[in-house]
């Protein structure tokens, strides 16, 4: 019986203002139209997470791992589902770019800890998880689910969606250029921009 682990933790209040220059680097895996060539824009959270798993001896599950933005997450910053090998991130993190990497590693620690434990049951934020946090470079990570977080303080944002794979792409600002889903462009068009996978606005809440 495989264990289903769905773990959530609340937003932490972040001290300081996020560096707006890093926004493009971490937030999504979009492919921009030809002529707009910003390498940072294409940095891929999923690739980062898979490389971390490989470097920590979890190569067997690394290629299965997926990272998604999920606007249905309301108060949790992220969620890890070991059975599905899926990390979900709250699009509201886009307003706090320094927290994206931290949240990714927090959730990845759940995946790594359960991988190492095999079929053994472990507690969500127990010793195995803390060891995984240490190995992922966030040794000081705390379980923070008790902090109430005023979600309404977040600014308006824009969420786009790939019409093919339905992956969501949160943005702080409205997109001014044609951007397509990187995963689908890689899969079906050799990584080049393909208008069939152009991201569509989902909401502007
Ligand atoms: Zn957690
Ligand atoms: Zn797609």
Q: What is the CA(167)–ligand 1 centre distance, in A?
A: 23
What digits encode the pLDDT tens for the residues 154-186? 454 788 889 999 888 877 778 888 888 888 888
Query: Which domains can be identified in the chain, with CATH numbers?
Result: 6-10+26-142 (3.30.2010.10)
Residue ranges near ligand 1 (ion) with Cβ within 5 Å: 7, 9
Q: What ligand has the least distance to the C-alpha of 103?
A: 1
For 40-77, write each residue's pLDDT tens digit: 333 478 888 999 999 999 999 999 999 888 878 777 88
Instruction: Please report which ligand is nearest the Cα atom of 166.
Output: 2
Instruction: Report, in this order, helix, strand and coil percent for the chain, each rounded to 5.
Output: 35, 20, 45
Nearest-ligand number for the alpha carbon of 114? 1
Instruction: Point out the ligand nearest to the CA of residue 106.
Output: 1
């Amino acid at each position: 019986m495989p264990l289903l682990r769905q773990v959530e933790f609340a937003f932490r209040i972040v001290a300081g203002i996020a560096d707006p220059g890093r926004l493009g680097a971490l937030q999504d895996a979009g492919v921009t139209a030809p002529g707009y060539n910003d390498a940072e824009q294409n940095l891929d959270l999923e690739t980062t997470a898979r490389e971390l798993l490989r470097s920590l001896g979890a190569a067997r599950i690394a290629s299965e791992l997926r990272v998604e933005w999920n606007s249905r997450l309301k108060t949790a910053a992220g969620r890890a589902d070991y059975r599905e090998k899926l990390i979900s991130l709250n699009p509201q993190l886009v307003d706090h770019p320094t927290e994206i990497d931290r949240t990714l590693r927090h959730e990845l620690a759940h995946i790594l800890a359960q991988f190492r434990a095999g079929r053994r049951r472990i507690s969500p934020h127990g010793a195995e998880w803390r060891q995984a946090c240490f190995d992922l470079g966030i040794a000081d990570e705390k379980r923070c689910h008790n902090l109430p977080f005023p979600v309404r303080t977040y600014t308006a944002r824009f969420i786009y969606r790939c019409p093919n794979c339905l992956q969501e792409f949160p943005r702080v600002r409205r997109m001014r250029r044609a951007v397509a889903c990187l995963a689908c462009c890689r899969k079906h068009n050799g990584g080049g921009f393909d208008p069939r996978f152009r991201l569509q606005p989902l909401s502007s809440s």
